[in-house]
Structure 1
Amino acid sequence: MPAPAPSHHLHLTLANGLRVSLRHAPRLKRCAAALRVAAGSHDVPLAWPGLAHFLEHLLFLGTERFPTSEGLMAYVQRQGGQVNASTRERTTDFFFELPEPTFADGLERLADMLTHPRLTLDDQLREREVLHAEFVAWSQDAKAQQQVALLEGLAAGHPLRGFHAGNRDSLPVEREAFQQALREFHQQFYQSGQMTLSLAGPQPLEALEALAQRFSEALTSGPLRPQDAPPALMPGQAQGYQHLAGNHLHQVIIGNAPREALAFLCTWLNASAPGGLLAELQARDLATAVQASVVYHYAGQAVLDIDFTLGTQDEAATQIQALLHDWLSFFAHSDWTSLREEFALLATRQQQTLGALALARHDSENLSEPAVTALKTMLDALQLPPSQHTWQLPPNNPFLRPPLKEERAGLIRGQTSAHRGLRTFAQDRSRGRKEVSALAFSPAVANDGDEAALYLQWRGAPAGLEGALQPLREQARQAGVEVSFETIGPDWRVSITGLHEPMPAVLEALVHSLNQAQPAFPAAIPLIAIRELLRALPVYCTEIAPQDSEASWANARWQGLGLGFPAALEAVIKTAAARLPGQPANLEHQVPDLAGQRLWHEVTTDSKEAAVLLFCPTPSQTLADEAAWRLLGHLLQGPFYQRLRVELQIGYAVFSGVRQINGQTGLLFGVQSPSVSVEGIIGHLQTFMQQLPALIRRNADAGNQALAQQFAPQTLPVASAAELLWHARLAGHSSAYLGELQQLIQTRTQDDMQRAAQQLNDATGGWVCVANGPVVDESWQSRG
């Protein structure tokens, strides 16, 4: 089987000093840009904490050439792309992903907003309130505050210990001194010499270079300005410290190794293989998980956080530190040859499987000899005693290597050693086993590429299996295969997407793990309120009661759908699936008929901020209704954000769009607000929906062609297509779903959209509200 097509990489520095990274990957369906400015929160004058983050926000508020409604964010959203930005300690990133035909227009908008921001006082006053709301949420977020506490062991004078979030007090926009600092920061750093542009797409490198050149010509030219070096991370010769927070023990290590060297170390620290650190800690009941990560890296300074989730013993900290030091000593004096080969394979596979946006943002380097030397020097500086424990280096990931081509004894023609034990379908039948008719393969996704998807859904499966499958998920992810889980009522779904070459081995491992796994119910990770509601929403969109804890494989039934598999692999996948626990069956699936009902579900969250999700299903399962509602969602997405987030400023988590839940399509609205009550949010949502007829009348072009293009096979990634087709199957649609939906979107009229808006306002398909407050009035039916 052919290896995944490689990408081609080119680094350039243009005449005006703009550094450019170009990645040509023919497998990509979309293009992406990532623009990094070498300036962040720690480069701001001490008098104005939060100024860098504030400027990042202001740049999205439109220019004279591209007002907000035509700016980058609105444009990308209309084209079904992704866009965002991030301010870090010493960098600020802007990034987006678009279909190839619209990519140049996105780059044009990005260059204009970076170079010609309006920075009006009215914009600043409004956006300051948004930042203040984010600050309030940040100050109440347990995870964020734990991060602040973690860094308290560093030197008091290091900027990592400072305040950089930005709020009303630190952003006095009314003062001329602040305005001057804001303009100077923009002029000093937002120019060509201070920027790096990364482009990724299916175009040839020459085409990408031409796009980069055109982008650079729109920038303000300027030189690279060296950023100030930070003070020491720790006083004296200290190399780290411990920090205990609840059931987490953090071992912080200070070093100066390159980022790729620290990534190499973290990969093996986090490994769960027998003979490793985590396995030993689990065997001694000292810790249940280990997560090593780099929380800061700049100018030769690095902060490595090794986070241990503690077990049940009271005096675990001293023992964990001793075992960690012993493992680090063993690792430092081991032969890294095989680990470096494995790490190179991991890096190569990652390059082969990243999507356009992730590939554009991917800035890691290969593990060079100087990086290896620097890591060994850093470990030696810890002055660790000789290792006393018998440790083992992790074995190779079996999913990373293609199966051997030659046939072996005991294999049938067409099988390889990776398929040992997988009999042909004909052999299974000859042994009296039934054909797995519940596993279908759809022709709707072309099977001539490198990627495929497999969906498996059980009804009545035991709960709590995800934890036991975590090692499999990690190994599969390293090999370019994502394994994810979702529970909806009595149904449990496993989706396997990515490169199809390792999938037979991944499925075989899944079969083995499911037959051996013991249910476990770890404590849920706390989330911000709106994410808690998103986690709960699917449960309330099914009429079937959730499964109980007594469910077992003996009574479980399952069905599946494969997409994008070459014919040779379909038989192998089917044969492996025949050994899945439970009985194959075509599960009955019926979408709830809410017919005008308005259901309210109250969910308790840790946050006291009001949060609301409103899910409005289409009035029927017909593709005509789905097309009209998708077009309506496409039209209202920008205005909804503009009205509630920008103009009314009722919250910072404001979003809308089409959502599919277990085969049911609908519009989903979400808001979390620090200042408006649940009742107030509902009022704003209903007011906005009542204004939709006028919005439709004002937009003669609703964006039919732009939305329809998002469902074209040549622009739709395999994983996205597979997700759509899975829900289409649950809804009873044919494998021609994508083409039919695309055609219907193109032909929807204003009358169709007005009808959809009226159905939305009338709750013709029902409303499901999930909120962290009680029902607001008698028009809703409270469901607890």
Structure 2
Amino acid sequence: MPVPAHPHHLQLTLANGLRVSLRHAPHLKRCAAALRVAAGSHDVPLAWPGLAHFLEHLLFLGTEAFPASDGLMAYVQRHGGQVNASTRERTTDFFFEVPKQVLGEALQRLADMLAQPRLAMDDQLREREVLQAEFVAWSQDAEAQHQVALLEGLAAGHPLRGFHAGNRDSLPVPHEDFQQGLHTFYQGFYHTGQMTLSLAGPQSLEALQVLAQRFGDSLRPGPLRPQQAPPALMSGDKHRYSHLEKNRLHHIIACNTPREALQFLCTWLNAAAPGGLLAELKTRGWASALHAKVLYAFAGQALLDIEFTLGPKGAQQAPAIEALLNDWLSFFAHSDWTALRAEYALLVARQQQTRGALALARQETPQLCEEHCQTLQAMLDAQHLTPAEQAWKLPPANPFLQQASKEQRPGLIRGQTSAHRGLRSFAQDRSRGRRDLPALTFSRALPDDNDEGALYLRWQFDSSEHGAFFPRLASSLQPLRENARQAGVEISFEAIGNDGLLRMTGLHEPMPLIVEQLARDLAQPDASLWQETPASPAPQMAIRELLKALPASTADTGLIADLNVLPDLWATAHWQGLGVGLPAACEMAIKSAAARLPGQCADVEHKTQPINGQHRWQTVNTAGDEAALLLFCPAPSQSLADEADWRLLAHLAQTPFYQRLRVELQVGYAVFSGIRQLNGQTGLLLGVQSPSVALEGLLTHIRAFLMQLPALINADENMGNAALAEQFSPHALPIPQAAEWLWQARLAGHGADYLEQLQQLIQTRTRQQLINAAQQLNQAAGGWLCLANGAAVGDPWQL
């Protein structure tokens, strides 16, 4: 395996106290910035819960130099980037990712909003209502309330037990003492001494340092202000407790172990291989899933949360589950970690190699060192564990983390035995490897000079029996997905109507081995995994549930599909595939491995189902009382000209739509719009969730905005053709985004020059063409599809 090209890293402190972390990664297509303020929810005066979160919101509302329409959020979105912020217990983060050429302009806006916030009274009153809406949604969210209950075992005086979201009652904006508290918090923490800027991109370290210095010069200087240490996590000498709620059992351990050491422990505790804790719990029917994570870490305090999703027999076995956990921890504490540390180093290296610009800028996990292991050993020893009684086993090495030899290529992944190899002989496999695969193509639209690539595989079935099979197949692929993820390849599998789509993105080096294993797992799934009932995901906020329902996914029928029928199902299936960004040697290896995939490799015409002129309504049941809807407006046709128009409309509408409904009208706190492609259809997607406006009102607001699009187009001096067209440059496109666009283009019947043609069309669209497109949009020329958590609001909507 070639030596990974790790980013070059430089850390320094500027003269004004700003700490700077720079990462030069030549393979990146974009660059990113992350600004961390050493102040969070737990640093706020007790009188004003939520003040830190409130200030984070206020900083995005524009400055004198850059009003909201030209501020950081609008600017980043205009250039196809992503931007967000997060207020945690002891930190507040602002971060974005943009094309290389606009990093300086984006940093200028970030610096200005941090150094010159308006904090106007009318802005504060409006934004407080947004936090109030978020608070209402939070108070009704079952998962949020579960987290509150989970922390009740901590000491009453620890800030983790407190309320920090902010609402109308905790943020008395008009009061003079509150304003004094807000400004004091801002003045005390929002200066260079409390800030760390991280930049990551393909630029040289020298170029990044120039940008960092310019950014730092715009900030208000100030000294480092140490944050107050929190009280003890638990009272007395108590250091662990359990929390049981419905089908979830948490075991919480309080310690002073560094995050890096706990993450090392979690990696092996979460392993699902035979001989591990989860495998034993599944065998006994006590738990179906295990997820250990670091819940909190600050100033020498840490919380380790070990969560068990209980099986049918698990609720009555909480003490026995805890005993098994202790037995495994004892086994792990007395094991030789040499091989585990070596594999963990490979795992961390792969993560470093595959991180995008934003993940690199935000990363804070150094390599595991000897001192970390010593503190972990001390923490385990402090649990006073008795010698292990169970015959536990450490998980085997992940075969995808290293290039296997030719003799190892047909090998097995974690948790499998020779019974899972499949029934074909090597001679049969070699014979199939020589067969032509007419429907597996490889795009030349992107350069193949980096480490990343993508592979899309789509199976089409002519039987309706697939409904119960897809969830089972997805469940049986879980070990493969986890091993691939550790090796730098993300795999997703979803059902869309009568089809199954598998996406594989990440490092291309392990992909041929992964495809070989995929072929075995699909043709002959692990029987024990097949019989498991797929876990039901926890309900999310309404708008997210609607987004999950937007693709016409096949739901589990509740039946356990007969594994013996699977060969018959594959016998009538056809599959096609697309590889993107893969070098020639990798293509050949993937072709050889893909020859063993079940089903026939053959092009089957993809037929879209246009809804031109129709208004369709689909009701989706969600939790909570808030109204939420998605409006999907497909382009009138699949022509590239229509796609170019629709992309420009979405480009122009994104910021004004958010500004109108979220800021001016305060209709809802979840407001967004953008382009969405579904099964080869390009459409404009608008979404809103509101605590105060019913579905009919939300739709009225959206219609009113869309009716104003022609006027908006006429009023905009620069329609943004150049900025949008630049996003389609092959040298600027991240592999996952480019692969998705090229796959959708294939489904729509476009040629190999799709990116080039679309870029040219976007560049040359005229104002009149865009106005005509806006009129077609309002006339529902391509149709309108509304997904909502309530009944249709009348004509012209049809179920």
Q: TM-score, normalised by structure 1?
A: 0.95
Q: Partner of 2:500 in structure 1?
A: 492
Is the aligned partner of 1:675 residue 2:692? yes
Is the aligned partner of 1:288 residue 2:288? yes
Residues 651-677 of structure 1, C-alpha deviations (whole Å, 9 max, x = no match)? 111000000011110000001111110
Query: Do 1:326 and 1:389's aligned partners in 2 also have CA atoms closer than 8 Å?
Result: yes
Q: Partner of 2:197 in structure 1?
A: 197
Consecutive unaligned residues in structure 1, runs of 5 or more: 412-419
Structure 1 residues 563-572 or 147-156, which shifts more? 563-572
Identical pairs, percent = 66
Q: Which secondary structure does the structure 2 equivalent of 1:367 belong to?
A: coil
Q: How has the CA–CA distance of structure 1 residues 709 and 432 changed in structure 2, closer, same or farther, with 3 Å as cutoff?
A: closer
Q: Partner of 1:690 in structure 2?
A: 707
Residues 617-671 of structure 1, C-alpha deviations (whole Å, 9 max, x = no match)? 0001110110011011000100000000011111111000000011110000001
Query: Do 2:433 and 2:596's aligned partners in 1 also have CA atoms closer than 8 Å?
Result: no
Is the aligned partner of 1:211 residue 2:195? no
Q: Partner of 1:346 in structure 2?
A: 347
Following the alignment from structure 1 to structure 2, what is the Cα–Cα distance between the partners of residues 373 and 159?
29
Query: Do 2:62 and 2:71's aligned partners in 1 also have CA atoms closer than 8 Å?
Result: yes
Following the alignment from structure 1 to structure 2, what is the Cα–Cα distance between the partners of residues 664 and 485?
20
Q: Which secondary structure does the structure 2 equivalent of 1:687 belong to?
A: helix
The Cα shift of 1:319 comes to 1.1
Q: How has the CA–CA distance of structure 1 residues 408 and 164 changed in structure 2, closer, same or farther, with 3 Å as cutoff?
A: closer
The Cα shift of 1:343 comes to 1.1
Query: Do 2:453 and 2:581's aligned partners in 1 also have CA atoms closer than 8 Å?
Result: yes
Following the alignment from structure 1 to structure 2, what is the Cα–Cα distance between the partners of residues 565 and 710?
21
Following the alignment from structure 2 to structure 1, what is the Cα–Cα distance between the partners of residues 408 and 384?
52
Matched ranges for 1:512-527 at <5 A: 512-517=520-525, 518=530, 520-527=533-540
The Cα shift of 1:714 comes to 1.4
Q: Partner of 1:269 in structure 2?
A: 269
**Amino acid corresponding to residue 483 of structure 1 in structure 2:** I
Q: Which secondary structure does the structure 1 equivalent of 2:551 belong to?
A: helix
Alignment size in residue pairs: 769
Is the aligned partner of 1:605 residue 2:613? no
Consecutive unaligned residues in structure 2, runs of 5 or more: 411-420
Q: How has the CA–CA distance of structure 1 residues 498 and 432 changed in structure 2, closer, same or farther, with 3 Å as cutoff?
A: closer
Q: Which secondary structure does the structure 2 equivalent of 1:769 belong to?
A: strand
Following the alignment from structure 2 to structure 1, what is the Cα–Cα distance between the partners of residues 504 and 409?
28
Following the alignment from structure 2 to structure 1, what is the Cα–Cα distance between the partners of residues 515 and 429?
17
Q: Partner of 1:478 in structure 2?
A: 486
Following the alignment from structure 1 to structure 2, what is the Cα–Cα distance between the partners of residues 537 and 410?
39
2:593 corresponds to which of 576, 581, 606: 576
The Cα shift of 1:286 comes to 1.1
1:770 corresponds to which of 780, 784, 787: 787
Q: Which secondary structure does the structure 2 equivalent of 1:781 belong to?
A: coil
Structure 1 residues 738-747 or 529-538, which shifts more? 529-538
Following the alignment from structure 1 to structure 2, what is the Cα–Cα distance between the partners of residues 60 and 119?
10
Q: Partner of 1:77 in structure 2?
A: 77
Following the alignment from structure 1 to structure 2, what is the Cα–Cα distance between the partners of residues 524 and 68?
37
Q: Partner of 2:338 in structure 1?
A: 337
Q: Partner of 2:519 in structure 1?
A: 511
Following the alignment from structure 2 to structure 1, what is the Cα–Cα distance between the partners of residues 747 and 501?
12
Following the alignment from structure 2 to structure 1, what is the Cα–Cα distance between the partners of residues 645 and 428?
48
**Amino acid corresponding to residue 455 of structure 1 in structure 2:** Y
Q: Partner of 1:387 in structure 2?
A: 388
The Cα shift of 1:2 comes to 3.7
Q: Partner of 2:547 in structure 1?
A: 534
Is the aligned partner of 1:647 residue 2:648? no
**Amino acid corresponding to residue 503 of structure 1 in structure 2:** M
Q: Partner of 2:171 in structure 1?
A: 171
**Amino acid corresponding to residue 476 of structure 2 in structure 1:** A
The Cα shift of 1:274 comes to 1.4
Query: Do 1:422 and 1:576's aligned partners in 2 also have CA atoms closer than 8 Å?
Result: no
**Amino acid corresponding to residue 477 of structure 2 in structure 1:** L
Following the alignment from structure 1 to structure 2, what is the Cα–Cα distance between the partners of residues 410 and 175?
70
Q: Partner of 2:414 in structure 1?
A: none
Structure 1 residues 603-612 or 736-745, which shifts more? 603-612
Matched ranges for 1:624-773 at <5 A: 624-773=641-790
Q: How has the CA–CA distance of structure 1 residues 742 and 157 changed in structure 2, closer, same or farther, with 3 Å as cutoff?
A: same
Q: Partner of 1:240 in structure 2?
A: 240
**Amino acid corresponding to residue 543 of structure 2 in structure 1:** I
**Amino acid corresponding to residue 27 of structure 1 in structure 2:** H
Residues 387-418 of structure 1, C-alpha deviations (whole Å, 9 max, x = no match)? 111111111111111245xx76999xxxxxxx
Following the alignment from structure 1 to structure 2, what is the Cα–Cα distance between the partners of residues 410 and 178?
66
The Cα shift of 1:443 comes to 1.4
Matched ranges for 1:535-554 at <5 A: 535-539=548-552, 552-554=569-571
1:560 corresponds to which of 558, 563, 577: 577
Following the alignment from structure 1 to structure 2, what is the Cα–Cα distance between the partners of residues 751 and 591?
29
Q: How has the CA–CA distance of structure 1 residues 548 and 640 changed in structure 2, closer, same or farther, with 3 Å as cutoff?
A: farther
The Cα shift of 1:371 comes to 1.3
Following the alignment from structure 2 to structure 1, what is the Cα–Cα distance between the partners of residues 115 and 423?
60
Q: TM-score, normalised by structure 2?
A: 0.93
**Amino acid corresponding to residue 390 of structure 2 in structure 1:** H
**Amino acid corresponding to residue 13 of structure 1 in structure 2:** T
Q: How has the CA–CA distance of structure 1 residues 754 and 409 changed in structure 2, closer, same or farther, with 3 Å as cutoff?
A: closer
Query: Do 1:422 and 1:575's aligned partners in 2 also have CA atoms closer than 8 Å?
Result: no
Q: Partner of 2:106 in structure 1?
A: 106
Q: Partner of 1:501 in structure 2?
A: 509
The Cα shift of 1:432 comes to 9.9
Q: Partner of 2:416 in structure 1?
A: none
The Cα shift of 1:565 comes to 1.7
The Cα shift of 1:3 comes to 4.0
**Amino acid corresponding to residue 20 of structure 2 in structure 1:** V
Q: Which secondary structure does the structure 1 equivalent of 2:84 belong to?
A: strand
Q: How has the CA–CA distance of structure 1 residues 616 and 57 changed in structure 2, closer, same or farther, with 3 Å as cutoff?
A: same
